[in-house]
């Protein structure tokens, strides 16, 4: 049984602006490549849970400007201990993916390490997750890193957008038949638009779809989607149809 995972993501207006303007920019002295580079796993930090357990938060940096790298979960894409599958992506869109997924660890995790090892284009890199105090995340730190705000008066009162996908978490569909999935997003409207900011496609709540795992050539989106930097966008609601090409198998889709 083959499995495809499709993820819907949401972002505030400022998050989109920051991503859109910073993704094409390279640090002075570094050469940009469109294809052929590896992907570096990133440990973003850890979150405490009310029950005393913790979440290790990960992202990635795809060093390519254009190539979406596919590394199936397994020897080249593993998280240990407890792996290889700890919920990590297998598809890595170009440039930086921040706060992509979390791995739950027990309250007695202590001084242990959680290690994500990723090999792409012949190069292996690792991200080491620990509960060192300097890596703790809170809402304000996350906002500043993800969306570029949180320091001005009132911005810390903002809450993350909420996303609801209609229907069950798993869908089965025959090959060659389209499947429509509807995601509804809402936001508290904070922070308020800055003075002089107009109401355009570059502002407001945006929703985007991406293939999280599986072979992307077996999935098409209507309307066409871009990288999950939310250049494919809609205001508060998005409906996305996908059609699977004829093969001898059935595909089961899991939304994550």
Res 142: pLDDT:
73
Peptide bond into 207 cis (omega under 30): no
Q: How far apart are CA 93 and CA 91, in angstroms?
A: 6
Pick left, alpha or beta for residue 144 (phi over 0 → left; psi -120 to 50 → alpha; otherwise beta): alpha
**103-156 confidence digits (pLDDT tens):** 999 999 999 999 999 999 999 999 999 999 999 998 777 766 665 554 555 566
Output the pLDDT for position 64: 92
**DSSP letters spanning 35-69:** SS--EEEEEEEEEE-TTS-EEEEEEEEE-BSSPPE
pLDDT at position 196, please?
58
Q: How confident is the prediction for the chain on average, in pLDDT?
A: 74
Give the residue, 103 or 31, on which the prediction is more confident. Answer: 103
**What is the reported pLDDT for 151?**
55
> Measured between alpha carbons, how far is 168 from 179 in angstroms, rounded to an integer?
13
CB count in 10 Å sphere of residue 185: 21
What pLDDT score does 116 carry? Answer: 98
Residue 129: both structure tokens together: 């997750």
Query: How confident is the model over 43-72, as a mean pLDDT?
Result: 95
Residues 6+ apart with CB under 8 A from 212: 5, 6, 7, 89, 90, 91, 256
Q: State the virtual CA torsion across 231, 233, 235, 237 in degrees, nearest 10.
A: -150
Q: Is residue 252 predicted with pLDDT exceeding 50?
A: no
Q: For 145-171, what is the mean pLDDT?
A: 71
In angstroms, the CA 162 to CA 184 distance is: 8
Task: Look at residue 129 and give its three-state secondary structure.
Answer: strand
Check: pTM over 0.75? Answer yes or no: no
Strand-strand pairing, 123-129 and 114-120: antiparallel
Backbone angles phi, psi at 58, to 5 degrees: -125, 155
DSSP per position, 179-235: EEEEEEEE----SPPPTT---STTSS-EEEEEEEES-GGG--EES----TTT-S--S
* pLDDT the model gives residue 175: 81
């Amino acid at each position: 049984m083959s499995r495809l995972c499709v993820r819907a993501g949401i972002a505030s207006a400022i998050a989109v602006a920051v991503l859109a303007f910073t993704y094409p920019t390279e640090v002075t002295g570094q050469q940009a490549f469109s294809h052929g580079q590896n992907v570096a796993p990133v440990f973003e930090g850890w979150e405490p849970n009310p029950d005393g357990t913790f979440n290790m938060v990960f992202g990635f940096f795809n060093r390519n400007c254009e190539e979406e790298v596919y590394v199936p979960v397994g020897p080249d894409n593993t998280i240990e201990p407890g792996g290889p599958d700890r919920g990590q992506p297998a598809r890595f869109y170009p440039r930086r993916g921040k706060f992509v997924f979390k791995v739950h660890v027990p309250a007695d995790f202590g001084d242990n390490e959680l290690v994500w090892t990723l090999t792409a284009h012949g190069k292996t890199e690792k991200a080491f997750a620990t509960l060192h105090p300097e890596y703790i995340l809170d809402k304000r730190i996350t906002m500043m890193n993800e969306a570029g705000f949180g320091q001005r008066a009132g911005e810390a009162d903002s809450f993350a957008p909420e996303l609801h996908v209609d229907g069950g978490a798993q869908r089965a569909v025959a090959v060659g038949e389209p499947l429509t999935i509807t995601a509804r997003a809402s936001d508290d409207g904070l922070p308020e638009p800055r003075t002089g900011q107009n109401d355009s496609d570059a502002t407001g709540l945006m929703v985007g779809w991406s293939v999280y795992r599986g072979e992307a050539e077996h999935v098409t989106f209507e309307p066409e989607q871009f990288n999950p930097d939310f250049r494919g966008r809609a205001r508060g609601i998005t409906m996305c149809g996908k059609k699977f090409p004829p093969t001898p198998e059935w595909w089961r889709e899991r939304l994550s």
